[in-house]
Amino acid sequence: MRELGFADALLGWYDSNARDLPWRIGPGQIAAGDRPDPYRVWLSEIMLQQTTVVVVKDYFNRFTNRWPTVGALARASDADVMAQWAGLGYYARARNMVKCAHLIAGEHGGQFPQTYDALLKLPGIGPYTAAAIAAIAHGARDPVVDGNVERVLSRYFALQDTLNLTRPRIRELAQSLTPPNRCGDYAQAIMDLGATICTPRTPQCPTCPVAQNCQARAQGIQTELPRKPIKPAKPTRFGIIYVARRSDGAWLLERRPPKGLLGGMLGWPGSDWGTSPQTSPPINADWHTLNSVVKHTFTHFHLQLSVQTAQVSHQTRPLQGNFVPAPEFQRSDLPTVMRKAYDAALPMLQMN
């Protein structure tokens, strides 16, 4: 009885409060017979991993305007896709996205598989993304569990162990609560609830459609849940980065190896990132070290980069990387950490 009440209340709330998102088919449209495009669902879910909706909207619109179908994306060059992805972070997502597009176009006739198990076999698609595509695009009754869903269910059932211990139970509850019909709407409804009402720090319990039976609210502990395990402190790595500009305005850049951090992205030549980076200038020049360092945080570590700059003549030949003519260089093609280095170096280079 609780399960039916939960789903019904949530769907009733969603019908009037669904977020207007560029990749989403609203509940009214689905009722009228429209179906979500699996390509748009997949693309949005890949982009939304570790990234906020606000940031993803512009990227999603640019991608779908340029590559409106998975076939169009499969025909794009890797460099073009990585350039459009620049700044979104977690670049392994983009590399796997390209691989997946090629596979869909080449082996699946341009059509996404409809089942969770088949979707799970595709590059870059894990359990959450497979369930989201199956439920939202195909109406399958697969439980969709992201951070929002974990928070909602942890509070609704007052699960007081840490998340690493409660996740199996959360998945069981998510399965039992998912209704037999409107599975895609339900998946989006519970995620919307977590994103807009059952928020991490200040849940809006008076406006929550399922607050009446929320056990955490009844006990006054909703802001304490879910309990997260203590994370170890992130280590700090160090590196040296070299920003060189030629007298004709060209910039010295390199494309990073396809595998590894920032794989396949354009960037400034530099040292390895570790505890004691070794000086290895990519070109013979009069290098100047900036007084300040560039700081950036990745998933598993903090990074501090010492930035060196140089102005070089048109005849200078690089030992590493290639000069990119000024008209072909766009700051937006760089990943965020490389943009930070560019922004730090530019005032010094403009002075010389």
* Catalytic residue ranges: 45
- Number of neighbouring beta carbons within 10 Å of residue 31: 11
Taking the C-alpha atoms of residue 155 and residue 157, their distance in angstroms, rounded to an integer, is: 5
What is each CA distance from 233 to 27, 123, 190, in whole angstroms? Answer: 43, 31, 32
Q: Are 336 and 89 in contact (CB under 8 A)?
A: yes
CA atoms within 13 A on the CB side of 294: 25
Taking the C-alpha atoms of residue 52 and residue 110, their distance in angstroms, rounded to an integer, is: 28
3-state secondary structure 60-103: HHHHHHHCCCHHHHHHCCHHHHHHHHCCCCCCHHHHHHHHHHHH
DSSP 8-state class, residue 29: H
Whose tokens are 């980065």? That residue is 241
DSSP 8-state class, residue 259: S
For CA atoms 262, 238, 299, 244, the dihedral sign is negative
Q: Are 305 and 239 in contact (CB under 8 A)?
A: yes
Q: Are 126 and 183 in contact (CB under 8 A)?
A: no
Burial call 12-29: b when 16+ CB within 10 Å, e when fewer: ebbeeebeebebbbbbee
Structure tokens at 339: 């943009």
- Number of neighbouring beta carbons within 10 Å of residue 138: 20
